[in-house]
Amino acid sequence: MKLCICGLGYIGLPTAAMFARNGVSVHGVEINQHAIDTINQGKIHIVEPGLGEVVHKAVSDGLLVAANQPCEADAFIICVPTPFTGDNHEPDLSFVDAATGEIAPFIRKGNTVILESTSPVGTTERVAEILQKNCPDLKIAREDSEYCDVYVAYCPERVLPGKIMSELVDNDRIVGGINQVSARKAADIYGIFVKGELLLTNARTGEMSKLTENAFRDVNIAFANELSLICDRLHIDVWELISLANHHPRVNILNPGPGVGGHCIAVDPWFIVSKTPDLARIIETARKVNDHKPEWVKEQVREAVAGSARKDSLIACLGLAFKPDIDDLRESPAVRIARDLAREFPGRVIAAEPHIAELPAVLSKSGVRLTDIAEALKADVVLLLVDHREFRAIKPEFAPEQTLIDTRGLWKS
Ligand code: SAJ
């Protein structure tokens, strides 16, 4: 069995490593030369617990090779990014289109092509159409027929960053075929390493299920974030409120925070909204509520600074990652908040982030200074943005002239 995986990022590389660990020969395709060189040395260019060892072994066993071009294989998996563009949050499918065009010359009768990238409904059909155009002599899978030379399916990942290596194996997995035979072929491939249940459906339902899972979480976080604003105005402790309400056997409210970060939850719901803008009203509102939360946090800081006895009061941001106990700063509301505050209050913003050794350029250029927890806790305004275990482990005492803004309800005020 030989696999060609396009895109060796946060999902493609762990997937490639997992197949290789199970004896499959994997040819990974990347546009980033640094990633190619790093992987071919048996190392990794991303941070994910447990991934490095598996990649190292796969490369030294000769089962994983990275390159900048695809090759012939039994199956092709597309794991490229699907960002959104512009003010209307339209999905940008250019990476999917490009990857499909690149594999087309290598497609042969009997191959299976799987799209894993989070995609708007209809994208797998689009992949099949591009393949059909590029491979006129082959019968590419179609919805209305079970007879085809090339099988095409959608199979989203649902792994949690930080737990990818175990969740890839143990999570149940949705496999949506363009036709039923395609779903079965794709399920056979994932069956090589997935221990969770493989749930077969059609491609459109598979695409929508991935978007639905993340939109569900986004809507629920938005509910918590909205409650935090309401409670602030009504002088109610939102954390106490949520913990009380969650004693109800059928209520389970999530946690408010400084906003929603990461590549998935803040992006995927827009793929539903852009397809059906007149219908996806709660989903769109939830996105806006969550995107507004960092603005509200900054307003709280402005008020604290205005109320501070010191003219040049120092603001400390505790935590920069997009969620607790990881070092991933991508699409982090904490980073955006620190950056904006540094621009507004030049030279007065410091940040403590135990998971990084140096600040990302966006923050150092804005004049943020990286510090340790002890110094951060002495600032005039202490802004807790991420509930890392290093912060959870302490219960600091603040002087009366200090202001604590605790967006995670860790120490409260
Ligand atoms: N957050 C809150 N309050 C909460 C929970 C989360 O503010 O109660 C925030 C986090 O701080 C973070 C953001 O939401 O900024 C997203 O974090 P997350 O842990 O909810 O999810 P991700 O983005 O790490 O991973 C999600 C997962 N999807 C779901 O839980 C439905 C994961 O299973 C998906 O595979 C992943 O998106 C993806 O790749 O789509």
Domains of the chain: 2-211 (3.40.50.720), 238-406 (3.40.50.720)
Indicate the pLDDT class of residue 212, thresholds 50, 70 and 90.
very high
- Res. 403: pLDDT tops 80: yes
Q: Is it the case that residue 83 has pLDDT exceeding 80?
A: yes
Rounded percentage of the chain residues whose pLDDT exceeds 70: 100
Quick check: is 210 catalytic? yes
Q: In what order do the strands lie in the sheet with 2-6?
A: 64-67, 25-29, 2-6, 75-78, 112-115, 151-154, 173-177, 198-202
Confidence of residue 273 (pLDDT cuts 50, 70, 90): very high
Query: Which residue lies with its CA nearest to atom 3 of ligand 1?
Result: 255
Cα 212 to ligand 1 centroid, rounded to whole Å: 13
The HSE-up count of residue 290 (CA atoms within 13 Å, CB side) is 31
The predicted model gives 188-197 an average pLDDT of 98
- Please write the tens of the pLDDT for every residue from 288-346: 999 999 999 999 999 999 999 888 999 999 999 999 998 889 899 999 999 999 999 99
How remote is the CA of residue 84 from the centroid of ligand 1, in Å?
Answer: 18
Q: Would the pLDDT of 413 be above 80? A: no
Give the pLDDT score at 309.
86
pLDDT tier at 85, thresholds 50, 70, 90: confident
The arithmetic mean of pLDDT across residues 251-279, rounded, is 96
Whether 15 is in the pocket of ligand 1, judged by its Cβ within 6 Å, is no
Q: Give yes or no for a contact between 75 and 191, defined as CB atoms under 8 angstroms apart.
A: no
Tell me the pLDDT tens digit for each residue of 365-393: 999 999 999 999 999 999 999 999 999 99
CB-CB contact of 338 with 368 (8 Å): yes
Q: How confident is the model at residue 161 (pLDDT cuts 50, 70, 90)?
A: confident
**Ligand 1 centre and the CA of 265: distance in Å?**
6
